[in-house]
Amino acid sequence: MAHSSTVLLEHSSSLPDLFRTVAAMQPHRPAQWRRSDQGYLPITYEQLDSAIRTLACGMLQQGVQAGDRVALLMENCPDWAVIDYAILSLGAVTVPLYCTFRPQDIAYVLNDCEAKLAITSGGNLLRHLLTAADAAPSLQAVYALDCGKTMDKRLHPLSDLQAGEDALAARLDAQLAGISRDTLATLVYTSGTTGHPKGVMLSHGNIMANLEVVPSSIHFNDDDMMLSFLPLAHALERTGSHFLPYSFGLSVAFAERPDVVVKNLAEARPTLMITVPRLLEVVRDRILGQVSKQSAFSRSMFNQFLALSLAAQEGSLSLLKRLRLRLLDRLVGQRIRERFGGRLRLIISGGAPLSIEVGNFFEAIGLPVLEGYGMTEAAPLISVNPMQDRRIGSVGKPAFNTEVKIAADGEIVVRGPNVMSGYWKRDEETTEILIDGWLHSGDIGRLDADGYLYITDRKKDVIVTSGGENIAPQRIESLLACDALIEQVVVYGDQKPYLVALIVPDQEACSAWAEEQGLPESNWPQLCGSKVLRKMLQTRIAGILHPLNAFEQVRRIHVLDAPLSVADGLLTPTLKVRRRQVFERYGELLEGLYR
């Protein structure tokens, strides 16, 4: 099925058209796995297709027409796909909202896109949506999976938005037949780092252009299953763990919550997973932390396994070392992989740069990572490492239907059928980023002799010191974040004589260190404020950055006792640092490091 979907893609006019063809070819195969008290239970393609058509007919009955915008605010769950595909089946436009949006953020998007309907799950999301609806005059109704005890005339149970197909099937099929690849499918509001979010206009063809290139990089098996846990409002997760599996006949299991992903991995036993580097960093640090608490013999076995596996990646091993590695892989590597369910064969990483150290670690334990590169404005895939010839440190080769070149100032520019038509109602911003058909990424990079793309920095995040040195902060932050005692780091120093940084220590690791040192600090804030912890971290940072240039050294640090988060507005929903907001919040502290 996975192979034949490549042919189906070429002959499909839209995303729902492609889905219906796939569903008809394998009606009884699982499309989704819903977690219950009995474990993960399957939902077949036939059941999913029926639920989509029922909801689409209900929307049709309620007057949803082609081109209407419908907002979707919901945690990752099987219903997300039902609602999204139902909207798309009418030629309407899905506007996904992040669950971390505040009511004012939701109100802004609802007004900007002039949403006709909004659909949510319940609880806090429903309360936030109804608060936002007060400031959104275009919104006609709100539908929820769970209305609770809320009494609001605008609110209806989602079951009210369902209708039998008998009377409406012909109209639904006519709506579907009128959708082409040029039809607007979705407005994806980029979280951005400054100002209000912008609605990226992506057509069915933009997203399908992404899907068409995947088989050239990744081989699918008929039993492949993905675990969905990143926000489905984000283009990476929506294209990769939503449209991709349903277009290639794979299945999707849904994590309960992002904080229990490791537990759900063991339960669902997926074969493929899309993630962001931060999660991989956390998992690596946990594994290393647990190994450090084991017996000397166990630590020695793990270290031998890791060393031999890393050496095998770099070159050939002698017969004796290959045999030893095979034995150690059974004793050590297999036990680690079992924690990921035992079937995981490929991890796809995107959304932020993956450090070489973390990439090498996962390769060494037998969980290869394919790093890719993209942006919402490209639906989002621009390049990805091919499965058979991946190069850690690069973001792979440009998709075969996408042109990539490096501009005179080092910026990566992109052209192809995956590139958006523009920003919703923002002509000025559109002309700034789309110039002569080329999408200007804002990223600095290079292409090597074999066509592999390397990202070296963000164009607007380059630090220029008062001495005129150009510094890539992400490079330094990536190196420091690999240290087991450091959870987060933000480097600062534009137009300054040297670099300083905000450091969020790893609470578990640093508390254990403090206990070993017999430090008197009785609680976490006290420990973070202590000179001895700051001095220890500063020493480790100096050691890590020692190989870099003198102007790339972090001279002073301030230790924070609470991590930067999405909730406090200092991280985007994909866990990227909002530098401007961080510098506004901690500006006085940072400036104080220069006094």
| Lowest mean pLDDT, pick from 239-243, 277-281, 426-430 | 277-281
Q: What average pLDDT does the chain have?
A: 92
Distance CA 222, CA 234 (A): 26
**CA dihedral for 316, 321, 327, 333, sign (positive or negative):** negative
Distance CA 361, CA 120 (A): 39
Mean pLDDT of 155-179: 89
Q: Which residue has the tokens 């590597």?
A: 333
Mean pLDDT of 339-346: 95
Contact 494, 464 (CB under 8 A): yes
What pLDDT does 458 receive?
A: 73
CATH number of 277-342+345-458: 3.40.50.12780
pLDDT class for 510, splitting at 50, 70, 90? very high
Q: CA angle at residue 23 from 273 to 82, to 5 degrees?
A: 65
**4-271 against 277-342+345-458: fold identical:** yes
What pLDDT does 1 receive?
A: 61
pLDDT class for 4, splitting at 50, 70, 90? low
What pLDDT does 163 receive?
A: 78
- Is it the case that residue 279 has pLDDT exceeding 90? no
What pLDDT does 191 receive?
A: 58
Q: Could you please report the per-residue DSSP string of 335-397? A: HHHHTTTS---EEEE-SSPPPHHHHHHHHHTT--EEEEEE-GGGSSEEEE--TTS--BTB--E
- Is it the case that residue 504 has pLDDT exceeding 80? yes
What pLDDT does 573 receive?
A: 83
Ramachandran bin of 410, using left for φ above 0, alpha for ψ from -120 to 50, beta for the remaining angles:
left
> Which amino acid, residue 360?
N
- Is it the case that residue 162 has pLDDT exceeding 70? yes
What pLDDT does 394 receive?
A: 95
Mean pLDDT of 238-263: 93
Q: CA angle at residue 61 from 56 to 62, to 5 degrees?
A: 95
Q: Could you please report the per-residue DSSP string of 140-151? A: -EEEES--TT--
Mean pLDDT of 516-521: 87
Q: How far is CA 432 from CA 92, 150, 320, 424, 428, in A?
A: 28, 44, 59, 14, 6
Q: Tens digit of pLDDT for each residue in 179-234?
A: 999 999 999 998 544 457 899 999 999 999 999 999 988 989 989 999 999 999 99
* 472/77: higher pLDDT: 77
In the chain, domain spans: 4-271, 277-342+345-458, 462-592
Give strand ranges (E) for 61-104. 69-73, 93-96
Instruction: For the beta carbon of residue 342, count every other beta carbon within 10 angstroms.
Output: 12
What predicted TM-score, i.e. pTM, was given to this entire model?
A: 0.85
Distance CA 166, CA 396 (A): 49
> Which amino acid, residue 266?
A
Distance CA 359, CA 348 (A): 11
* Superfamily per CATH, domain 4-271: ANL, N-terminal domain (3.40.50.12780)
- Which residues, in sequence order, are CB contacts of 401 under 8 Å at separation 6+? 209, 212, 213, 416, 417, 418
Contact 115, 70 (CB under 8 A): yes
What percent of the chain lies above the pLDDT cut of 70?
Answer: 98
What pLDDT does 194 receive?
A: 45
Distance CA 497, CA 487 (A): 26
Instruction: For the beta carbon of residue 108, count every other beta carbon within 10 angstroms.
Output: 18
What pLDDT does 195 receive?
A: 58
What pLDDT does 193 receive?
A: 41
For 245-312, what is the HEC assignment?
A: HHHHCCEEEECCCHHHHHHHHHHHCCCEEEECHHHHHHHHHHHHHHHHCCCHHHHHHHHHHHHHHHHH
- Is it the case that residue 3 has pLDDT exceeding 70? no
* Backbone φ and ψ of 416, nearest 5°: 165, 175
pLDDT class for 462, splitting at 50, 70, 90? confident
Q: Could you please report the per-residue DSSP string of 40-73? A: EEEEEHHHHHHHHHHHHHHHHHTT--TT-EEEEE
Roughly what angle, to the nearest 10 degrees, separates helices 15-25 and 169-177? 120
Q: Tens digit of pLDDT for each residue in 534-582?
A: 999 999 999 999 988 888 999 999 999 999 998 898 998 878 888 889 9
What pLDDT does 5 receive?
A: 65
**Strand, coil or helix: 542:** helix
| Lowest mean pLDDT, pick from 190-204, 281-295, 349-363 | 190-204
Instruction: For the beta carbon of residue 384, count every other beta carbon within 10 angstroms.
Output: 26
What percent of the chain lies above the pLDDT cut of 90?
Answer: 77
Distance CA 14, CA 170 (A): 18
- Is it the case that residue 2 has pLDDT exceeding 60? no
479-509 b/e with 16+ CB inside 10 Å = b?
A: bbbbbbbbbbbbbbbbebebbbbbbbbbeeb
Architecture of domain 462-592: 2-Layer Sandwich (3.30)
